[in-house]
Amino acid sequence: MTSHTLSFFSWKKKRDKYLEIVKVQSKNTTTYVVNLFSRSLVILLRIWVFTQLYTVTYRVAGATRIDDFTLPMLIWTLMITQSFQNSTRPYVARIIEEEVKTGSLAYTLNRPYSYLLFHYAGFLGRILPSLLTNILVGIGVCLILVGPITFTLSGLAGGTVLLILGYLIEFSLMLSIGLLSFWVEDVSAFVWIYTKGQLVLGGVLLPLTLFPDYLRKITEMLPFAAVFYTPAKLMVSFQPETFWYYLTIQLFWVLLSILTAVFLYRKGIKHVSINGG
Stretch that binds another protein, among 9-17, 27-35, 91-99, 245-253 (CB under 8 A): 27-35
180/258 with CB nearer another protein: 180
- CB environment 137-171: b (16+ within 10 A), e (fewer): bbeebbeebbeebeeeeebeebbebbbebbbbbbb
Calculate helix-pair angle for 229-236, 71-86, nearest 10 degrees: 140
Phi/psi class of residue 186: alpha, beta or left (left: φ > 0; alpha: ψ in -120 to 50)? beta
Number of residues in contact with another protein under rule CB under 8 A: 36
Q: Which of residues 172-201 bind another protein (CB under 8 A)?
A: 184-186, 188-190, 192-193, 196-197, 199-200
CA distances from 189 to 13, 103, 192, 193, 233 (A): 39, 21, 5, 6, 29
Instruction: Supply angle C-alpha 140, 30, 166, rounded to 5.
Output: 65
Stretch that binds another protein, among 111-119, 163-171, 207-215, 255-263 (CB under 8 A): 207-215
CB of 184 to another protein, least distance (A): 6
Q: Does 210 bind another protein (CB under 8 A)?
A: yes
Q: Rule CB under 8 A: choose which of 7, 38, 152, 160 binds another protein.
A: 38
Residues that bind another protein (CB under 8 A): 32, 34-36, 38-39, 41-42, 45-46, 48-49, 52-53, 56-57, 60-61, 184-186, 188-190, 192-193, 196-197, 199-200, 205-206, 210-212, 215
